[in-house]
């Protein structure tokens, strides 16, 4: 079953890792839009910005998934990719648990998406 919300186990893991990990986290959003989803996601992007700013998060990249260059599928299942850097997992948790975020921004995300994978990543110390 496709979902746009974390499972209870995923939510628990996120909260547990936020407590003991002050390092930055980069969230990879693989987005599959429903009907009129791209327009709804644009509304979400506008409404979420103040909440991103409040936790000092930065959108690193946002764009369409056009084609697969290497791999065993012809076309990615997702329509777009958004990459957001948060100063910590706790900052991400603070944003997504803010009641204003749910009232003003998340409603547009929910309307936009048919499915998503949201992947927390830890940056590698390259070129050091």
Q: What is the per-residue pLDDT across 35-88, written as a single tens digit (0 to 9) for each?
A: 999 999 999 999 999 999 999 999 999 999 887 778 877 777 889 999 999 999
CA 12 to chain CA centroid, nearest Å: 17
Question: Looking at the predicted structure, is the pLDDT value of residue 109 above 50?
Answer: yes
- What's the pLDDT band for 112 if we cut at 50, 70, 90? very high
Q: Measured at the alpha carbon of residue 81, what is the angle toward residues 128 and 95, in degrees to the nearest 5?
A: 80
Residue ranges in 1-119 assigned as alpha helix (H): 8-19, 37-54, 89-96, 99-101, 107-112
In angstroms, the CA 100 to CA 41 distance is 17
Q: Is 20 helix (H, G, I), strand (E, B) or coil?
A: coil
Return the CATH number of the domain spanning residue range 23-121. Answer: 3.30.70.100
Question: Looking at the predicted structure, is the pLDDT value of residue 1 above 70?
Answer: no
- Token pair, residue 56, equals 């000092």
Question: Looking at the predicted structure, is the pLDDT value of residue 111 above 90?
Answer: yes
In angstroms, the CA 44 to CA 109 distance is 6
pTM tops 0.85, yes or no: yes
Domain boundaries, the chain: 23-121
The pLDDT score that the predictor gives to residue 2 is: 62
**Strand 80-86 vs strand 113-121: parallel, antiparallel, or unpaired?**
unpaired
The pLDDT score that the predictor gives to residue 88 is: 94
Q: What is the per-residue pLDDT across 10-30, written as a single tens digit (0 to 9) for each?
A: 888 888 888 888 899 999 999
């Amino acid at each position: 079953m496709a979902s746009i919300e974390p499972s209870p186990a995923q939510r628990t893991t996120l909260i547990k890792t936020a407590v003991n990990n002050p390092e930055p986290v980069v969230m990879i959003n693989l987005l599959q839009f429903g009907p009129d989803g791209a327009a709804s996601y644009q509304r979400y992007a506008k409404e979420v910005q103040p909440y991103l700013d409040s936790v000092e998060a930065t959108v690193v990249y946002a764009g369409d998934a056009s084609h697969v260059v290497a791999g065993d599928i012809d076309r990615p299942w997702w329509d777009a990719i958004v990459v957001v850097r948060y100063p910590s997992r706790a900052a991400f948790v603070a944003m997504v648990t803010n009641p204003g975020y749910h009232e003003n921004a998340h409603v547009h995300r929910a309307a936009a998406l048919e499915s998503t994978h949201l992947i927390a990543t830890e940056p590698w110390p390259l070129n050091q």
